[in-house]
Amino acid sequence: MTDAAANFDHVDFDEMFAALCSEVGFCLHEKGQKKVIAALPKGLDAAMKAVLAADGVDEPNAPGDLKKAVRDCLKAHVQPG
């Protein structure tokens, strides 16, 4: 990995996926969650696309506000603090 790949040890993934479910409506199964976690080092856009794909949403045709909501939810949970 490069310096661009963040360390995600601080992330509470259970909390992040609970928020995706309750706040945005994406309640992912374990396999989908693993794909999102694997995509995180590639960036928030990649993780957002993984969330949509795991739920069967056609990302190019998904509304922009939905993509932003997913990305914002992920961002809120992966940023240190």
Q: What is the pLDDT of residues 6-64, one digit of tens each?
A: 577 788 999 999 999 999 999 999 999 999 999 999 999 999 999 999 999 999 999 99
- What's the distance, Cα to Cα, between the start and end of the chain in Å? 23
pTM for the whole structure: 0.87
CB pairs under 8 A, 24+ apart, for 45-53?
Answer: 45/71, 47/71, 47/74, 47/78, 48/74, 51/20, 51/26, 52/26
For residue 81, the model assigns a pLDDT of: 55
Domain layout of the chain by residue ranges: 33-81
Which among 4, 15, 1, 3 has a CA at the least distance from the CA of 44? 4
